[in-house]
Chain A
């Protein structure tokens, strides 16, 4: 059995191979859809239930799902689209992959309920190009659902019709941004669009569209089965339910853990087997690489919910918890992240296209003993001039790590500039002085 922890309500009863339709039905699957159709629960009532649940977007922005659903124009009679964002490429995040490969029908049922609630006839699930096996498995799950009459026309003998397709990316982080993703489905470069207009009025093919994350949709059947109040009660006010956290980095048992929102970080760390080698925790990025880094002593006192992490100075984001121990050189860690944003900037907005490269080159030279005294202030300045000045959030995402790493670990950056070497010198560590020295000698 796969163990996501004792709080798990979505990822429970799974053994890695029981993802098929018959297994899902044996777990009570498609019961929420049947309940809605049999009891003729109105679309408005479904949206109200999701609103009540306090379910917030699990992809990173944390926008209330029910509220987003209510933005879809009700009177509009033309084509409307439902899109699932399974383009999981935020460094540290690997939860949606588990939903896709271990419980795909839960996602399909969640999308069906969303389609019913918003009067949508067609949906697409856009899957990260690198997880090809999951894409193929999801196609199989769709075929099962079609054959059983859960997708297509006259679903379960009613007037309700919904068709769902799987599509894939092919290596572009930016397509995780919802309008970049829409462009990609339209067969274009994944360059984000100006908002407004928002997708609810001008989305896929210019039609009203709602886009939610995989985990967001996957939570919907449970909410319908058990009620929005019950979901909300699992978490905290304004932070309903459980959430999958992807724990990576210097822990003994990296992996996904489903915990109630509001669970202390220390508890999650314990579930992940504690620090590797019994080392001391130095820093944690709590919500994917775009979230500001927090020093160990702060995160150890923080609860894992949207509001608590925001209060601590970061973001819950996608729930990707990257743990770094005392052997980690923060300059080198930031160098790698800066390279990522430089590499993945779509090139559309000048501040991001030029600024991400500029930041990377500065962090690179600091890491390699060529940093200049003025670089730290200049880095902050460049970051400030990217954030808020771009079409999409990638600019902010690139700026936040730079600002937070320098803010919390300025002495390490300063040491690199002053001494032209790393102040972290734990032998055998990751990103340690030893390996940095080898690189410099090369």
Chain B
């Protein structure tokens, strides 16, 4: 109840109201939910995870294991919030968790009554049987009983922020030691001081982050922290981000994170109103309240006098043998056997320095027997620790744990002394095994008030010292961090960049349907007048085969390779040769990995004696440049060649079809476009709409084809000039779907579709690309390996059939066979006649041409005829036009 003394954090002149489990209660600004509940005499705030025992508030800080409530309602609901850290505001709504139908009368308490049946690890010894029985019968029951708070179902209405900060000194902990260190560091540059509380006053010249928890320390002095920007305000008053993630890189780190006073272990030490002694004092000093009228203080503490001055009766005992009560402690039996009535107990256990941040990046600990705690080992190369967290805590051995029923070590996970003894008995004697077997230290408080007692008991059982048992690994986060804060700005549309070409807006205006190709948005097809995809693609394909189509190919990777050794370099990178390619000509190239498998393909053009422009696939552009740089820097640094990405400098439009030349004649100047002057696989420079362009005769459709490349800055006017020029020829924009169909009829492979990292050049019928005379190139050695010489390798073939087959269909010899010979890589309706056709990789495929196979997909099978993979214009007459 509230008393006249203390209350430095509250404003007694104002009263605010809040609801807890439907009851409206009053508090003051500055209260936490825990202090307000205590001020109203409420100690029972939850039920424990396993046994559903009544639980009260144990502490006054972030280390709280018991007082977990759900704050807020609907989409704003936040389960598992520690009442000791929730700042009270007018209108706050809170609900207890893990109890039904009510906190006072919880049916789950049945498990508590039967607690003997549920010691640590009981589930490993029972629920035996088949996995079906576990999955179907036992598990659903257990799952329903597990979990603390309910999961929210609505989308999170809040936004989160993330910011990077740098400083010369980062101080974690705004108590006296931390503040002194911050001031001291001012002379050495920027100082940031972080404190998880609300009340730290500002310091001149120091950047102070209040309500901020440094939750993780990472290598190279990176500290992650989360700031609660808005959680303390009523929903109606919140502006801006709810929480802010801080990523801080510091030259030096000073840790002043304090220490946590530990509970004592004795039967029924988990009853509501049995609390940590320092918390009892905090509630008086900060919040002006007494946790009880008749308090038993066990262990030495200076708090007794202050509590008496505030009006409490305080009975000091050296040890407690057991506590008694039902939903609140009513009496204790002391070490002498005397019973004392009381309405609260304050346990003065020892202090464990908060060494988490030091330990997370490998800082070492040693055990201090005089203080009975783990203290950090000083290491000048690591963060400096000062104050209590460095081990500067009272020299005081806490009273020994008392065995008996319901003597709790981990309050939240219901782990008792008996559980630890059981674990020892069963051989789980490594501290990590103890933790995993009993689950001690694995609750949301991560053992802040339980690890030390657990280790102490284990050491006692093994006849050794806690120092020889050691601690479990400290891992971030120090206290739980909201997922939304961790994702911050990079969520929803921003989980990955969206890449668009210079013509993107034009495509959108045309109603294009887009496809994700890596990070790019590429038009898949351009439906007109309510067309579905099939109709649009039919129209687009026919336009290319019979008239002229235009495709935005800007996404293609483009690498400028130049220098005296440019050709030598490309000779090493590609399977084919480049030295003899004349200036002005282009050549199709295939790039292999060291394992001899096809990695990427594309055309490269010789721009000058010592300059090439290499085209890569859209998806591999960055990978190919990295690959080239990797080899240049590590294998062949002696080669004089420069590699520069020009992927985005050049926008590209493919103008293709029998009328392609006619369209370009309308709009291109300075180039003789005739077949004789401008043969297939060559390039020329000219102008369109006043801008320089480079035209390449490269065909991916099998038709007469010109790729028009221009400086991206002028892509839009050039694109529109092409469309305007092509209008009277019926120029038809087409997308990736039509592109796929058209190239498939020519058996032009698509990396990642006809290849999957296991396909070699000869498999694709591309052995003509692989140089027989080059002394070395990436993949050459692997091509000589036995596996790549086998005649029954999978080879690219065509398939025809009566109905469509799915891509990914698996192929067998007979309809009832299960031995797979290959799979369908591409499957489409023919560009002009719409008859189904496909490409496939089949074991010994070329030998099987003329025979039939069965395609299995979607649970059915279909007979297919194996054919040559080129379905259209095998002589290449049209593209040489």
The answer on A and B forming one complex is no
